[in-house]
Amino acid sequence: MYKYLLIDCDDTILDFGKSERASIAQVMEKYGVSPTVKAVEKYVKLNEKFWRLFEKGKITKERLLELRFIKFFKKYKIDVDGKAINKEYLETLTHNVFVINGIEDVLKYLKDKGYKLYIITNGVKSTQIARWNQTDLLKYFDGAFISEEIGYFKPQKEYFEYVVSNIGDSDLSNYLVIGDSISSDITGGINYNIDVAWFNPKKKKSKIKVDYEFHSLDDYYKYL
């Protein structure tokens, strides 16, 4: 029944959690901290804490990006240049790309069934393109919509407006948004009146009503 699938990238197609952990481990090692599982998880937690402060408007994004490293290394009594280390980390991130296990088969299946697939992602264009180019997945997609390029981001209405007008079919019932984030993918789709499928492998709870909930990749075959 759908013609166009608008699919999120991080933690829907690519395994961002794995990328993040591999990248921070490399950065730690370089700065003299042993990248044990415990230390890596300590960073992941601290980083999450800073992102929550940012979402509440208590800190700017610029400050968050540097402060997460300054605070983290301070725990090991190491002084670092937050801006420089953030730049290094982002660079490392583009080299640590992992695809979610089994997603390529899913994309091939969807493409063979005649759906048109599009990537919808919030992020920096150069970083995202560098990451995708390390996978063999772009051949399955008919296009990609990167927030930085568009000037709007998920969940903004203008972002979805741009996507739909660019694809060129104004019948919203032909579209399905698929993503792991309630606050960006799912909320964005719902607010723009597009059906939504929540990719939720960790079975998190949410009060938001979704059209489909995918607990594993098997659900793609079941519902689409």
Piece of the chain touching Mg ion by CB under 5 A; list 40-48, 70-78, 176-184, 204-212: 176-184
Piece of the chain touching Mg ion by CB under 5 A; list 60-68, 84-92, 103-111, 174-182: 174-182
15 binds Mg ion (CB under 5 A): no
8 binds Mg ion (CB under 5 A): yes
Which of 4, 6, 7, 11 binds Mg ion (CB under 5 A)? It is 11
Nearer to Mg ion, 180 or 195 (CB): 180
195 binds Mg ion (CB under 5 A): no
Q: How many CB atoms lie within 10 A of CB 44?
A: 14
Q: Coil, strand, or helix at residue 67? A: helix
> What is the distance between the alpha carbons of residues 75 and 78, in angstroms, rounded to a whole number?
7
Sequence-distant contacts of 216-224: CB under 8 A, at least 24 apart: 217/100, 217/102, 217/103, 217/105, 217/106, 220/106, 220/109, 220/110, 221/106, 221/109, 223/197, 224/2, 224/5, 224/110, 224/113, 224/115, 224/176
Nearer to Mg ion, 85 or 177 (CB): 177
CB of 19 to Mg ion, least distance (A): 12
| 11 has catalytic annotation | no
Q: Coil, strand, or helix at residue 161? A: helix
CB of 15 to Mg ion, least distance (A): 11
> What is the distance between the alpha carbons of residues 32 and 76, in angstroms, rounded to a whole number?
9
Nearer to Mg ion, 10 or 195 (CB): 10
- Region for 152 from its dihedrals, namely left if φ exceeds 0, alpha if ψ lies in -120 to 50, beta otherwise: beta
Which of 15, 20, 88, 180 binds Mg ion (CB under 5 A)? It is 180
Nearer to Mg ion, 8 or 15 (CB): 8
CB of 63 to Mg ion, least distance (A): 23
Which of 4, 5, 6, 10 binds Mg ion (CB under 5 A)? It is 10
First to last CA, the chain: 9
Question: How many of the chain's residues bind Mg ion (CB under 5 A)?
Answer: 5
The site for Mg ion (CB under 5 A) is made up of: 8, 10-11, 180-181
Which residues are the active-site residues? Answer: 8
